[in-house]
Amino acid sequence: MEQISNYVNGQLVAPISGSYLENINPAEGKVYSLLPDSDERDVETAAVAAQSAFQSWSQMPLAKRASILLKIADLIDRDLELLAFSESVDQGKPMKLAESVDIPRASANMRFFATASMHMAAESHLMEGEAINYTTRTPIGVAGCISPWNLPLYLFTWKIAPALASGCTVVAKPSELTPMTAFLFSKLCMEAGLPAGVLNIVHGLGKKVGQAIVEHPVISAISFTGGTVTGKTIAATAAPMFKKLSLELGGKNPNIIFADCDLEEALSTSINSSFSNQGEICLCGSRILVERSLYDRFVSDFVKRTKDLAVGDPLDETTRLGALVSEGHMQKVLSYIELAKQEGGTIACGGERVKVEGRCASGYFVAPTVITGLPQNCRTNQEEIFGPVVTIMPFDAEEEVIAFANSTAYGLSATVWTNNLKRAHRLAHQLKSGIIWINCWLLRDLRTPFGGMKQSGVGREGGWEAMRFFTEAKNVCVKL
């Protein structure tokens, strides 16, 4: 059985404890590889390696640093098929999705930040003939990057690429549920000639490895993507140590549909925004709010299309929804469906585990589920489910839908479907979300800031925001 290694100081190494955890293929419900059950000793070794690599990496000429990161991007493209296959086996998503979205976006992350680093500019401010201020931005040191399981390589590279491009060295931890692509990535880094210690990948449990990264005194910035509860623990640990923090957390995103929208586009995109990656994308629209005059028609068409979505073997070309990431997560999603029934909801379609024939007979599949008839303030409509489950609710007026949309503790993204230009802009300004999509979903320009409001996180990633996060600004004031 394949055994995943940590990547520390440029070498693939076993965990110091010698212990391993089982890595399960969720489509089969079977163990298919082993990953290091690392602990604080492995984090210590990684932090020491990162600290000793910092000086030469941060002082390496920009073009040379960028060329190594670009080489890694090229290698990701070269190994697209293997990486997509591994991500599908690790996470349960359709391989086709990994091939067309996750892996290409991972190489795009590397490429974007490698080239951005070559164009970063610092400001200067002239004080009317009296003095000139100039600002320098230097890499902060060793950064800790912790990523979740839903888009494994994409979100892993989204964190480490700006850190490395800014001149930081990194200690990173992918989710223990999906370690395989990060392991393959470490081999690509070695092949690309990334100097030893610049990136260190320590596999294992969040409570051991993640916590040790957050607590380590040498690590001065933490970039974390994951659940809101974990985010709170990390903030509580890091704040008294005065670490820089970027937290990208959960969402309960509204998808608002006005009667004057282009219905075909709204329907087909809403199917994607509800069920892509089995609904396991923080940006999925899990609450669909439809103007009352369109409500019945929308629900009927949406349910019809949902029933047509093929659930099955992630390696099958025709599969639209693969397996959920773990048995525990499947049980959580199913328990929310039960909760919705108790709260008075009607299951318009789905609502149960799906038994797939053949090799996937023991996999963790859940039918795409549409629930109607729930009030806004019930738990099903307020808490993040993070699975193939959406609710649809009617609304009568613009002010009402804005209040509904803003009613949760989250504020990650929102989508609005309308052909009324003024209304689109009005809503964009009033919705409390970090990203607003008008007549589209999941279009991402890497130059734009990315992040959530309220309990969806603090800080912004993407573009200069990400590069600046990994640097420290210093102002020099020179008397003229």
Beta-sheet strand order (sheet of 124-127): 124-127, 131-139, 471-479
| Shortest distance in whole angstroms from residue 442 CB to ligand NDP | 12
Binder of ligand NDP out of 94, 141, 250, 462 (CB under 6 A): 250
Contact range with ligand NDP by CB under 6 A, out of 49-57, 222-230, 264-272, 464-472:
222-230
User: What's the rounded Cα separation, in Å, for the pair 268 and 212?
Assistant: 44
- Our answer to whether residue 282 is catalytic in this structure is yes
Task: Count residues near ligand NDP (CB under 6 A).
Answer: 33
| Shortest distance in whole angstroms from residue 241 CB to ligand NDP | 13
Helix 103-116 vs helix 80-91: crossing angle, to nearest 10: 120
Give the CA dihedral 379, 384, 387, 392, nearest 10 degrees: 50
User: What's the rounded Cα separation, in Å, for the pair 310 and 144?
Assistant: 39
The letter for the amino acid at 81 is E
Radius of gyration of the chain (CA): 23
Footprint of ligand NDP on residues 158-217 (CB under 6 A)?
173, 175-177, 205-207, 210-211, 214
- Read off the tokens for 374: 């729930």
Contacts for 393 with CB less than 8 Å, ≥ 6 apart: 287, 288, 289, 290, 372, 374, 376, 381, 404
Binder of ligand NDP out of 89, 171, 282, 299 (CB under 6 A): 282
Footprint of ligand NDP on residues 426-455 (CB under 6 A)?
452
Footprint of ligand NDP on residues 354-393 (CB under 6 A)?
384, 386
User: What's the rounded Cα separation, in Å, for the pair 26 and 385?
Assistant: 18
Contact range with ligand NDP by CB under 6 A, out of 141-149, 162-170, 267-275, 300-308:
141-149
Task: Answer yes or no whether residue 462 interacts with ligand NDP by CB under 6 A.
Answer: no
C-alpha distances in Å from residue 48, one per residue of 85, 105, 392:
34, 31, 51
- Our answer to whether residue 248 is catalytic in this structure is yes
**Active-site hit among 145, 168, 282, 284:** 282
Q: Cβ closer to ligand NDP: 66 or 103?
A: 103
Binder of ligand NDP out of 4, 146, 261, 392 (CB under 6 A): 146
Question: What are the beta bridge partners of residue 222?
Answer: 144, 245
| Shortest distance in whole angstroms from residue 18 CB to ligand NDP | 19
- Which residues belong to the active site? 248, 282
Which residue ranges make up the site for ligand NDP (CB under 6 A)? 146-150, 155, 173, 175-177, 205-207, 210-211, 214, 225-227, 230, 233-234, 248-251, 282, 384, 386, 412, 452, 456-457
